[in-house]
Structure 1
Amino acid sequence: MRISGWTIALALTTIAAAPAAAKDRVGYQAISSGSLAQAEQTIDAERVIFPNRPELMLNLAAVYARTGRASQARSLYSRVLDQAPVTMDLADGSVQSSHLLAQRGLSRLQATMASR
């Protein structure tokens, strides 16, 4: 299965927080299947409990970016950058810094805006 650049770069899942068999609490499965409204609902519910978890903010920013809400996405990416960096385990098995992922998201937003 091929996953889009947005999903690979930004749709995160932490191994400890969301093992494959567990309920998807970070919206990854919904994002990867294209169910962006479901992903947003799942992430919003988790953010009530954990408002500053970077994986939730990054995934929600990805949803916002994919649904034309660039300013809201930019705000979430900036909030991630305002926090201490966190090492994130991505769904593809790689490990990235939350700051690097937020910076990539901001770059994609700028590239999208420039191409319009």
Structure 2
Amino acid sequence: MRMIAVLALGLAAATPAFAAERTGFQAIAAGNFPMAERQINAALRAAPDRPELMLNLAAVYLQTGRSADARRLYAAVLDQPAVAMDMPSGAVVSSHDVATRGLQRFPNQSFASR
């Protein structure tokens, strides 16, 4: 399972994945979105389909006004098999659940459930 943590940035917030610094989690938590984006993009070059990286990059995009890019990444996570992710609270969530919550931030869109 992969570890993620909820970062409350605004209302229901983007949900960045938590792991080693290469996921950009610490930079996101510190509000350093340019650094987080650089770290995540470097990690994505090595592992382009890791949902925790795509979810973190979507969180960065949301916080930097790039909603269309965030939506694209959430949809890409939903196109992959679901991955179980451990929350620091001890809860286990699906990468699909996180992506679906992210997509729900866009009220003028309708999305099929999976």
TM-score range, shorter chain: 0.7 to 0.9
> For residues 63 and 49 of structure 2, what CA distance do their matches in structure 1 show?
21
Is 1:39 aligned to residue 46 of structure 2? no
- Could you say which residue in structure 2 is the equivalent of 1:103? 100
1:91 is displaced (CA, Å) by 4.1
Q: Give the number of aligned pairs.
A: 100
TM-score of the two chains, using structure 2 as the length reference = 0.80
1:12 corresponds to which of 17, 22, 25: 17
Within-5 A mapping of 1:72-91: 72-91=69-88
> Percent identity among equivalent residues?
48
4+ residue runs over 6 A deviation: none
1:46 is displaced (CA, Å) by 0.2
| Structure 2, gaps ≥5 residues long | 1-6, 110-114
* Residues 34 and 91 of structure 1, relative CA distance in 2, 3 Å threshold: farther
* Residues 106 and 50 of structure 1, relative CA distance in 2, 3 Å threshold: same
1:59 is displaced (CA, Å) by 0.3
| Structure 1, gaps ≥5 residues long | 19-23
1:13 is displaced (CA, Å) by 1.6
* Residues 59 and 92 of structure 1, relative CA distance in 2, 3 Å threshold: farther
Point out the structure with the larger helix share.
1
**For residue 86 of structure 2, what is the amino acid of its counterpart?**
D
> For residues 70 and 95 of structure 1, what CA distance do their matches in structure 2 show?
26
- Asked whether the 8 Å contact 1:30–1:39 carries over to 2, the reply is yes
1:66 is displaced (CA, Å) by 1.0
- Could you say which residue in structure 2 is the equivalent of 1:21? none
